[in-house]
Structure 1
Amino acid sequence: MIKSSGNVFADLGFEQAEAENLLVRSKLMAAIKAYIESEGITQEEAAERFHVAQPRISEIYQGKIDLFSVDKLINMLARVGQHVEITIHKAA
């Protein structure tokens, strides 16, 4: 059995800094999807709330992480009243 580092991207061989960035973006994208699902809204309605075009919401659902910056994802969440909190600690 292989022990996980706790970051799937690091486990896949990404350089540490990139792995951390990918992990943060994936969590933000998951939060956006969770918001949409908890609100029971369509992608079109979500696009209006997040102030983006509907294809951007589709790209989040498709996991196109490379198309989104941390800033963009945080801004989207803030537009719907979501608070993003960051915790920083020394890497293991």
Structure 2
Amino acid sequence: MSKVDTQVRHVTKPGANIFTELGFAADEARRYHDESQALVGQTLALKAQLMDELATWIEAHHLKQAEAAEILHVTRPRVSDVVNKKTAKFTIDTLVEMLARVGKPVRLVVG
């Protein structure tokens, strides 16, 4: 059996431009970085909007987190993560599925 090399050789610091570190020219790296940051921002905004809908539904139905968890088929800590807008812990798909479970199907509109 061969040994798998798992040694970490380089870690990109938070906020650093990975495209610069990959050797792209400065102007190109800056453009790629800006584009990727914009996409990340759009994704986070969409997740936050979906979480807002779920949190509003929970509040409107006067549910405790444990009750909401049972309806949503998730754990109570997952409901807490939704209510506290922990966007990194969810995919868009998961949030869309949760909304569908409570009768709030998501429709995509491209503007």
TM-score for both structures, normalised by structure 2 = 0.65
* Partner amino acid, structure 2, of 1:76: M
Q: How many residues align?
A: 77
Deviations 1:54-79 (A, max 9, x none): 00001112221100000000000111
- Report the Cα distance in structure 1 between the residues aligned to 2:99 and 2:85, rounded to whole angstroms: 17
Task: Indicate which of 50, 53, 61 corresponds to 1:31.
Answer: 53
- Report the Cα distance in structure 1 between the residues aligned to 2:42 and 2:84, rounded to whole angstroms: 20
**Structure 1 match to 2:39:** 17
- Report the Cα distance in structure 2 between the residues aligned to 1:39 and 1:84, rounded to whole angstroms: 19
- Report the Cα distance in structure 1 between the residues aligned to 2:61 and 2:41, rounded to whole angstroms: 30
- Report the Cα distance in structure 1 between the residues aligned to 2:102 and 2:62, rounded to whole angstroms: 14
Note the C-alpha offset of 1:16: 1.2
Unaligned runs of 5+ in 1: 1-12
- State the secondary structure of the residue aligned to 1:15: helix
Which has the higher Rg, Structure 1 or Structure 2?
2
- Report the Cα distance in structure 2 between the residues aligned to 1:17 and 1:46, rounded to whole angstroms: 31
Unaligned runs of 5+ in 2: 1-33
**Percent of residue pairs identical:** 34
Q: Which has the higher contact order (CA 8 A, sep 6+)?
A: 1
**Structure 2 match to 1:9:** none
Note the C-alpha offset of 1:53: 0.3
